């Protein structure tokens, strides 16, 4: 039997030096990175955010996917843990609600050197080593670009009205609500969508929860993409040129154009794999990780499945 869990390596800059957050677990008497088991119906990104808040008292947004590790527990079971990195702002630390309890005695921010000595387990030291490798290459701090396909819509064959107004099915509306917490794990701020009803209905719950305005772009409709893909590409290029975490919600027929355009900004290591990604199922999305700097580039991506029984998020890094 496999026990599934998720967590994050949280980092910050202090006086020009990288520091990492570790927790001391009272029962186990160990120093480790915050993590925990997946709750029923939960997806890995949601677990990682929830567990960091529960164990370290910090509300985070996920950065790039770091690693998936597995090891054997004392019970003989295998534990599989999905980790992300997360840069923590001073404001988030100031709002920390951490209180020592029977599980976690303390949270400590430490330099990389101190953390390497203090962490109890080799697999945690391996996570720290990989984090520092990203840092040394200038690839630790990234912004996220989400490519989202609208959730399940009324079939074309069952809709007699205008195509632009074809709505979501009740199933699709439930999926849209399900997306709220999942998208919030990544925190997109700039929400760009096709103005067609099914896309607007997909992103509306997240927009309402986060109080962020929807930016409509007619070039993202499937009809506009069919007639003039260059205009669709212009929207994608404009989005890439922004500095905020962003989300694009569009339609299946437009996805190849969107992905092809983004892949031109990808590193040579992942560009071929990203270019081969042609579609998404309703409600699924990609998260592209863009390294910040004078020449931004996409250095990693992951595919997030909406179904909670799919326990593997595709990682390309």
What residues does 111 pair with on adjacent strands?
A: 19
> Strand, coil or helix: what is 149?
strand
User: Given a cut of 90, is residue 308 above it in pLDDT?
Assistant: no
> Strand, coil or helix: what is 197?
helix
User: Given a cut of 80, is residue 130 above it in pLDDT?
Assistant: yes
- 240 to each of 11, 189, 253, how far by Cα in Å? 25, 13, 20
Domain ranges of the chain: 2-136, 142-316
User: Given a cut of 50, is residue 311 above it in pLDDT?
Assistant: no
Q: What percent of the chain has pLDDT over 70?
A: 97
User: Given a cut of 80, is residue 100 above it in pLDDT?
Assistant: yes
Spatial distance between the Cα atoms of 147 and 131, rounded to a whole number of angstroms: 25
DSSP assigned state of 127: H
Q: Output the pTM of the full model.
A: 0.94
Residue 316: band (very low, low, confident or very high) from pLDDT cuts 50, 70, 90: very low
Q: Which fold has domain 2-136?
A: Nucleoside Triphosphate Pyrophosphohydrolase (3.90.79)
Residue 52: band (very low, low, confident or very high) from pLDDT cuts 50, 70, 90: very high
User: Given a cut of 90, is residue 192 above it in pLDDT?
Assistant: yes
Say which residue, 310 or 223, is predicted with more confidence: 223
Helix (H) / strand (E) element for 181: namely: helix 170-184
| Least confident piece of the model among 31-35, 91-95, 143-147 | 91-95
So what's the pLDDT on residue 292?
A: 85
At 208-232, the pLDDT tens digits run: 999 999 999 999 999 999 999 999 9
Q: What is the mean pLDDT of the chain?
A: 94
User: Which CATH architecture describes the domain 142-316?
Assistant: 3-Layer(aba) Sandwich (3.40)
**Token duo for residue 280:** 């998404």
**Token duo for residue 301:** 């991506």
Residue 295: band (very low, low, confident or very high) from pLDDT cuts 50, 70, 90: confident
């Amino acid at each position: 039997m496999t026990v599934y869990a998720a967590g994050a390596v949280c980092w910050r800059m202090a006086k020009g030096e990288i520091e990492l957050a570790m927790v001391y677990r009272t029962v186990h008497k160990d120093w480790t990175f915050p993590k925990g088991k997946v709750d029923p119906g939960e997806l890995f990104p949601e677990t990682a955010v929830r567990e960091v808040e529960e164990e370290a008292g910090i509300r985070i947004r996920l950065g790039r996917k770091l690693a998936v590790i597995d090891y054997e527990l004392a019970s003989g079971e295998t534990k599989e843990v999905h980790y992300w990195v997360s840069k923590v702002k001073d404001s988030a630390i100031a709002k920390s609600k951490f209180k020592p309890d029977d599980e976690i005695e303390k949270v400590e921010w430490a330099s990389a050197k101190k953390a390497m000595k203090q962490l109890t387990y080799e697999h945690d030291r391996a996570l720290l080593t990989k984090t520092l490798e990203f840092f040394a290459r200038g690839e630790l701090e990234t912004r996220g670009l989400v490519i989202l396909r609208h959730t399940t819509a009324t079939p074309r064959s069952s809709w007699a009205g205008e195509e632009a107004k074809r709505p979501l099915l009740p199933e699709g509306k439930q999926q849209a609500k399900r997306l709220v917490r999942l998208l919030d794990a990544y925190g997109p701020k700039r929400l760009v969508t096709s103005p067609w009803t099914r896309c607007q209905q997909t992103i509306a719950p997240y927009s309402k929860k986060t109080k962020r305005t929807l930016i409509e772009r007619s070039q993202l409709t499937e009809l506009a993409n069919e007639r003039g893909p260059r205009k669709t590409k212009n929207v994608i290029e404009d989005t890439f040129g922004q500095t905020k975490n962003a989300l694009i919600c569009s339609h299946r027929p437009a996805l190849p154009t969107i992905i092809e355009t983004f892949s031109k900004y990808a590193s040579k290591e992942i560009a071929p794999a990203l270019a081969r990604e042609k579609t998404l199922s309703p409600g699924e999305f990609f998260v592209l990780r863009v390294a910040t700097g004078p020449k931004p580039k996409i250095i990693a991506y992951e595919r997030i499945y909406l179904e909670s029984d799919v326990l593997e998020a595709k990682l390309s890094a």
